Amino acid sequence: MFETRMQDNATDGLTQGATPSSAETEARSKKAAGFQLSLKGRALRLLSQREHSRFELERKLKPFEETPGELAKALDELAAKDFINEQRVVESVVNRRAQKLGAARVRQELQAKKLPADAIAEAVADLRSSELQRAREVWRKKIWRQARRSGRDGCVATCQASALFNQPRLFG
């Protein structure tokens, strides 16, 4: 392996501190580029990490499009095979973000992904019904965490939590 590196460095024809010519720079960039994924391959790699909307994929893959229409064709093929599914994107965002964020913030994230308005409205309506319960859970965790840090016992933290949740102006 060390010998291979030495041979590569020797074949570059450069010494330390020397600036490469344009031909050498081009050859290096082609060599460094090596294997390039197709647009469909790049999209599948992104989709394997998490669900993406078509808009997100277009935004992320646009710099790699070599000919006009190539990206749209690749995304159409993936959508036809159900790799791109807007409903799954909505469910994914709601499952990941609803425990920590309110319905308005989740709606904002869904709108930023340019998802269909009816799917967003349905997801937000479901979140609104459980928003008070989720807010109470977040506050409970926060108060317990603060109580542990300050050395207070659990009873004090519980009393603080119940006092906070019984104030109608906070959660009414």
Q: Tell me, what's the pLDDT at 136?
A: 84
Q: Tell me, what's the pLDDT at 2?
A: 42
Q: Tell me, what's the pLDDT at 80?
A: 96
CATH for 53: 1.10.10.10
Average pLDDT of 61-88? 95
Structural domain count of the chain: 3
Q: Is residue 4 assigned to a domain?
A: no
Q: Is residue 149 assigned to a domain?
A: yes
Using a pLDDT cut of 90, give the percent of the chain over it.
48
Q: Is residue 3 assigned to a domain?
A: no
The answer to whether 76 and 90 are in contact (CB under 8 A) is: no
Domain that holds residue 120: 85-129
Do 122 and 98 lie in one domain? The reply is yes
Q: What is the pTM of this model?
A: 0.63
Exposure of 96 in the CB half-sphere (CA atoms within 13 A): 11
Q: Tell me, what's the pLDDT at 48?
A: 95
Do 78 and 102 lie in one domain? The reply is no
Do 74 and 108 lie in one domain? The reply is no
Q: Is residue 27 assigned to a domain?
A: no
Do 90 and 123 lie in one domain? The reply is yes
Tokens of 140: 């409970």
Q: Tell me, what's the pLDDT at 14?
A: 44
Handedness of CA 99, 101, 106, 109 (dihedral sign): negative
